[in-house]
Every structure is written in structure tokens, then in C-alpha cells.
Amino acid sequence: MTEKKGEDRREEFKLDGGRVVEKVKELIHEGNIRRIIIKNEEGKTLIEIPLTLGVVGAAFLPVLAAIGALAALAASMTIVVEKIE
């Protein structure tokens, strides 16, 4: 990972498909997320979600629906979170 202005850090969460949407919602409510990347079991990126200030609520519902559809197809997924320190 390349360092940017301020400090960014990455965290990874390995979850079963049923918990992915719940975890993404939880992470968005933290408010210090720059990007969320969801990968399948093989490590292939399925969706990359850049988050900007103010992207919450109804504007984010279609993205959550897409994540839910992806999660239904996979037994387990990895969520990679880029956080702003």
C-alpha cells in the first residue's frame, strides 16, 4: 500500500457470505473509511467501493443490494477496508 497524505491503513475481514452486508453497513457507520474492496475466496476483487463524505443512507442502498447479491453466490468473502487515520 502506498502512503498518502495523512496515514491510511488497511484491515481485512474474512466472513461467510451471510455476514458481508451486515459488516459493510457497520464499517460505513464508522465514518473513517476511504474504500471498501470485496474479494472472493480466490482473492479476486469482485467490487471496489470508493467512499466519499456524505455517501450514506438511500444513496448507498443500490450498492448494498449488489453486495448482497454477490454474497449470496459465495461461501466466504474477504472485505478489505482502507481507513483514514
Q: Residue 68 pLDDT > 70, yes or no?
A: yes
What pTM does this model have? 0.76
Q: Give 23-47 pLDDT, tens digit per residue.
A: 988 888 877 888 899 998 899 998 8
Q: Which three cell numbers stand for residue 68?
A: 448482497
What three-state secondary structure class fits 72?
Answer: helix
Please spell the DSSP secondary structure of 31-53, one letter per residue.
--EEEEEEE-TTS-EEEEEE--T
Q: Are 29 and 44 in contact (CB under 8 A)?
A: no
